[in-house]
Structure 1
Amino acid sequence: MSNPIRLPDIFPPHIADRGRHYFDHGQVLEIRQTAAGRYQAIVRGSAMYSVWLKLDKGLRIQSGGCDCPYDDACKHMAALWYALRARLETQGVPQPLADLLARADEAALRKMLLRLAEDETVRERLTAFLQPEKREEIYQQQVKQMFARAGYDYYDAMDLGIKVQDWLGEVAQDGEAAVADALPLLMPRLIRAYERMDDSDGILADAIDGAVELLDQTTRENAPESLIRCLDKCLKDDRYFEYGDSGYKLYHIRARIWQQNGQWKAWQKYVDTRLAKADEWNSKFWAMARWQLFQAQGDDAGAQDWFERHLYLPEFRKIAVAQAVGQQNWAEAERLLREGMALAGAKGHLGTLYDWKLQLFAVMQQTGADIRALAEDLAFHKDDFSLPHYQAWKATFSEAEWPAEFERLLARLAKSAWLSAEILQHEQKFDLLLSVLKQYAGLSLATLDHFSPSFPEPYHAQIVDCYLTVFDKEISKAHTRKQYRQLAKQLKMLASRYPKQQAVNAFAAEIKVQNNIKPRRPALLEEWERVGF
């Protein structure tokens, strides 16, 4: 999920309702929070399912997963969300433990610690705390145990990722000296496991991020030598750069230490080595890192020369364009953008080319230049429709010129049904839009849902006919209860949306008749009954 969203936006109502039912009946078990901010639980349904969610501070879902067969946001995830909301929004502030311990009897505390130490994990933590000289040995044994049981598949990766994150949380509580002992032991094993395991849900990646974040925090001031050596070893391992972006995060930590210590030669040697073997993709990062090194050293002349020699890279050109725009030097901004467009076009970097066009359009609007050709290009970029650019393009024509230009546009887009439909919808040409939809080979319920709300009431009967044609095809192809259930609910929603159109109920009744004779589909009939048909 790319955008953080609350429960109603991601779960269909019936899924949310069933998730709430599971929560209300106490079927969310063993909730735990990992060091990376994920919440893990077991939800009891037809089986015991492992579920996880990652939430922001506003309880919006950022990512999640479940090992049930359902291939979308499921009721088990919804159940966990309801449980987390209840826990996080209603929990009170407990009495500070420090106050309670201050008043406790020392003998009683010792007795309690001895009882707690019967658990092996607690005993190891207490030993590491009371005997720091044994801490590294204890951590080494714990790391060995965690990875000894690690297999290769998805469930092994999930299990290991959770264990590592929990362990990192405990180490962090033991203090910076503990972190300095623990991370050098963990990092090589963790990247090796990440390389070989199926980390489809990203839990091992979260563990690596947690370790890197802990390393970052612990090296902010007076970085321990053991962690500097750990950093240097990690930065020599290309796997950190090949799998995700942890290598680049590690570099930024090391660069900060180099700068703090004034170790310019070591910093430059590392960056130059990386630049020498970089491919086209990561050379952009290392070229920018070299420029930042010039700036950190206060070498303004070297930084300026490096910057100008690397304007062929989009990252540098974006900075130059931003500077020109900030100074309202529109001519320079346009020159940089057109030059960038030529470079991107020659290399086939279409995404970069599009970005430059967008910025050029904004600059040309500032200068009052002729934007007609560029606005048209952006309005219909790669069969996508951009309404703001379409409106800007249309505004370049007079009222007398526009009708003829509109006819030419429709003729030019005759083979692009979706794009034609988008334009006709905006222009409220409903007769033409209806004709395009009826002839659209890819017409689906989703397409109709997109365009149908714009049609006024006189067209409702024809829109319903389009829907029923598609429903008839979808029902004939459906063969699972899940598909029947979805179609039944969609048809019921159509009946609610167009209550005056009796054709929907008549269609539903006909489907019941057809499927009550051979070959019968009892599951379809049950789902029809469930929604009230």
Structure 2
Amino acid sequence: MARTVVGFGEDDLRTLAGVRSFERGLGYLDAVTGLEVGEGSVTAVVHGTDIYEVELSLGGDTGISGWCDCPYGQEGNFCKHCVAVGLTVLRQAEAIPRQRSAARARASGLQAWLTALSRDELLALVREQIGEDRELRRRLELRAAAAHSDTDAVRDRILVLIDPRPFARYGYIEYADATGYARQVEEAADALRALASGGSAARAVGLAEEAIRALGQAYEEVDDSDGVVGQAVAAVAGAHLEACGVACPDPERLAEWLVSQVLGDRNDATDLDPLDYAHVLGPAGLARMRQLAAEARRRSPRGWAERYLMERLVKAEGDVDALVALYAKDLVPSGVTHLRIAEELEAAGRADEALAWAERGLRETATEAHVDSRLVDYVCDRYTRAGRMAETVTVRRGRFRAERSLAAYQHLRAAARAADCWETEREAALAVLRDDARRERGGWYAGPVLIDALLDDGDLDAAWREAADRADDRQWQQLADLSCEARPADALAVYLRLVEPLKEPTGDRVYERLARLLSGARGCHRALGTEDAFAAYLAVLRAELKRRRKLMTILDQQGL
């Protein structure tokens, strides 16, 4: 019933938070105060090491998300405080519909009250609020200056808003301070829009360019892991674009500015796309930009920004052959450029040429161990559509022999099964992997790919034969997990061996893995009918590690 009412349940909280944070959240249920239910969200305060504010967004069919201003929560994690608030909501689920209704009534009442106030009463209310809230007063002052086209006042305030120094306590803006700085940058963007719409669009263009230049420099010293500052800077760039649309600046001068931004060292902040300005640039501006891009390309033919700018301009002109020629000048060894050419040609209705370029890409990357998988998929998909199954197998076989990875083996298996030739292909593929294993060519986790392939095939007997002195711990555990019923004694020996090195290290991940191994061992003992032996083993282990209280808690939760 609770999940139906609030749109989530305990399992959703556990999935979002992870076992560790979920269990910790249970200990904070009594620390939740000030729970306030809105129409689509819940806010509360949680008293922990400090006092933290939590907001849960209840998305109905889309589930739940949470935000907390604790350090862990500010890293984007669904923390223990979010869990505590979520559990509190679930425990009060029956009251949630009534509280939501009350929230709607309050919002409606506020709206009705404000509507009924006279102009003088509204002014008095605003004056009261700006007298108590300094930030609100500053925001309104900026809006007023923009509305009256007081460009000097707007410029001064914008420069204050985008100045990173008040937030840079140690010479740079830390993660925890990025959101506050982003809010100020968004205020600057709002002011620029207001200035442009208030009859000073040309001045707004110049101020926006000044702000973008300063923000490009400031962005280098910001920990913007969540991208909030980048979004705010993009809003300033958007205000510049809007102002240009109103002011219609000189197109050639605008083209020169845009090119300087794209080719500059500090375009990471705004990530400007010059083609967004095409309607402002017009033919003259686009021609000037193309001229500047060509000159930059000649000066730096390998430059990423130069290549990007030229590609965007050529693509906008709709000349597919010119775009193909441009891509063909710098073919990347991974085959990604061949794929781009193929996609452009196919989009232009030239499917045969597209496939020819993709096939060329496979030929020219045949000896590369790492090729863009999308190129391989592209060719195989076209072959499969045309019923060319044998050629699909040939491509997959070639990539498998070059990569020797589990993924390449799986792709080969799928293609060969579709072509009804997997038995023959499998024998040859396993022979290659056995040769690699003998040469100690390890897989991603050091164990040979041969064992991963056999496990993926479900060929456990062969996997056991090959595992001796070759498998890594990950493969041994997977082998044991898959063999609990068929070979419980062998699987049990693996579990017990893997437990031993985990007795020394500490930490939740170690404890959780230890619990999984012990659960596997318990299953083997059940299959063998030796539950008493497992109980005795577990009792000795718990006595040995009894001082690790978190481990004991995890074992208790698993019934161990």
**Bin for the TM-score computed over the shorter chain:** 0.7 to 0.9
Question: Partners of 1:432 and 1:209 in 2: how far apart?
Answer: 57
Give the equivalent residue in structure 2 for 1:128: 142
* CA distances 1:331-360 after superposition (whole Å, capped 9, x unpaired): 6444312322345569x69434x4433322
**1:433 aligns to 2:463 (yes or no):** yes
Q: Aligned ranges for residues 11-90 of structure 1 at < 5 Å? A: 11-19=17-25, 22=28, 25-26=31-32, 44-47=47-50, 58=62, 67-68=71-72, 73=77, 75-76=79-80, 78-79=82-83, 82=86
Question: Partners of 2:293 and 2:67 in 1: how far apart?
Answer: 35
**1:268 aligns to 2:271 (yes or no):** no
Give the equivalent residue in structure 1 for 2:407: 385
Question: Partners of 1:373 and 1:493 in 2: how far apart?
Answer: 44
Question: Partners of 2:43 and 2:229 in 1: how far apart?
Answer: 14
Question: Partners of 1:279 and 1:21 in 2: how far apart?
Answer: 57
* CA distances 1:82-109 after superposition (whole Å, capped 9, x unpaired): 4999999956483397654332122221
Contact in 1 for aligned 2:263/2:305 (Cα 8 Å): no
Give the equivalent residue in structure 2 for 1:469: 497
Give 1:115 shift: 0.9
Question: Partners of 2:426 and 2:491 in 1: how far apart?
Answer: 27
Give 1:72 shift: 10
Higher deviation after alignment, 435-444 or 523-532: 523-532
Give the equivalent residue in structure 1 for 2:309: 286
* CA distances 1:256-275 after superposition (whole Å, capped 9, x unpaired): 4314x753333323432443
Give 1:457 shift: 1.7
Give 1:443 shift: 0.7
Give 1:431 shift: 1.8
- Matching residue within 156, 171, 177 for 1:140: 156
Question: Partners of 1:69 and 1:166 in 2: how far apart?
Answer: 19
Query: Which amino acid in 1 is paired with 2:375?
Result: W
**1:111 aligns to 2:134 (yes or no):** no
Query: Which amino acid in 2 is paired with 1:189?
Result: A
* 3-state SS of 1:439 partner: coil
Return closer, same or farther for 1:400/1:171 CA change in 2, 3 Å cut-off: closer
Question: Partners of 2:109 and 2:20 in 1: how far apart?
Answer: 42
Question: Partners of 2:286 and 2:76 in 1: how far apart?
Answer: 51
**1:500 aligns to 2:500 (yes or no):** no
Give the equivalent residue in structure 1 for 2:4: none
Unaligned runs of 5+ in 2: 1-11, 91-95
**1:205 aligns to 2:224 (yes or no):** no
**1:364 aligns to 2:383 (yes or no):** yes
Give 1:470 shift: 0.9
* 3-state SS of 1:500 partner: helix
Contact in 2 for aligned 1:364/1:371 (Cα 8 Å): yes
Give the equivalent residue in structure 1 for 2:449: 419
Higher deviation after alignment, 396-405 or 100-109: 396-405
Give the equivalent residue in structure 2 for 1:101: 114
Contact in 1 for aligned 2:416/2:425 (Cα 8 Å): no
Contact in 2 for aligned 1:484/1:524 (Cα 8 Å): no
Return closer, same or farther for 1:227/1:460 CA change in 2, 3 Å cut-off: farther
Higher deviation after alignment, 191-200 or 151-160: 151-160
Contact in 1 for aligned 2:327/2:341 (Cα 8 Å): no
* CA distances 1:203-252 after superposition (whole Å, capped 9, x unpaired): 43343234334545x358435759998996575246866664733x3423
Question: Partners of 1:92 and 1:449 in 2: how far apart?
Answer: 54
Question: Partners of 1:273 and 1:27 in 2: how far apart?
Answer: 64
Unaligned runs of 5+ in 1: 1-5, 32-38
**1:490 aligns to 2:542 (yes or no):** no
Contact in 1 for aligned 2:56/2:65 (Cα 8 Å): yes
Return closer, same or farther for 1:243/1:306 CA change in 2, 3 Å cut-off: closer
Return closer, same or farther for 1:152/1:254 CA change in 2, 3 Å cut-off: farther
* 3-state SS of 2:486 partner: helix
Higher deviation after alignment, 380-389 or 326-335: 326-335
- TM-score in terms of structure 2 length: 0.70
Contact in 2 for aligned 1:324/1:333 (Cα 8 Å): yes
Question: Partners of 2:380 and 2:462 in 1: how far apart?
Answer: 31
* CA distances 1:161-211 after superposition (whole Å, capped 9, x unpaired): 323432354456668234764644532332222113444454433432343
Return closer, same or farther for 1:128/1:232 CA change in 2, 3 Å cut-off: farther
Question: Partners of 1:382 and 1:97 in 2: how far apart?
Answer: 67
Question: Partners of 1:495 and 1:192 in 2: how far apart?
Answer: 58
Question: Partners of 2:85 and 2:278 in 1: how far apart?
Answer: 40
Contact in 1 for aligned 2:208/2:240 (Cα 8 Å): yes
Give 1:458 shift: 2.0
Question: Partners of 2:430 and 2:314 in 1: how far apart?
Answer: 52
Query: Which amino acid in 2 is paired with 1:272?
Result: A
Higher deviation after alignment, 466-475 or 69-78: 69-78
Return closer, same or farther for 1:285/1:178 CA change in 2, 3 Å cut-off: same
Higher deviation after alignment, 39-48 or 355-364: 39-48
Question: Partners of 2:551 and 2:182 in 1: how far apart?
Answer: 48
Q: CA RMSD in A?
A: 5.1
Give the equivalent residue in structure 2 for 1:246: 270
Question: Partners of 2:70 and 2:472 in 1: how far apart?
Answer: 32
Give the equivalent residue in structure 2 for 1:156: 173
Contact in 1 for aligned 2:297/2:307 (Cα 8 Å): no
- TM-score in terms of structure 1 length: 0.73
- Matching residue within 191, 210, 232 for 2:216: 191
Give 1:112 shift: 1.0
Give 1:70 shift: 12
Query: Which amino acid in 2 is paired with 1:113?
Result: V
Question: Partners of 1:124 and 1:70 in 2: how far apart?
Answer: 26
Give the equivalent residue in structure 1 for 2:342: 321
Give the equivalent residue in structure 2 for 1:339: 360
Query: Which amino acid in 1 is paired with 2:460?
Result: F
Give 1:283 shift: 4.5
Contact in 1 for aligned 2:25/2:82 (Cα 8 Å): yes
Query: Which amino acid in 2 is paired with 1:246?
Result: T
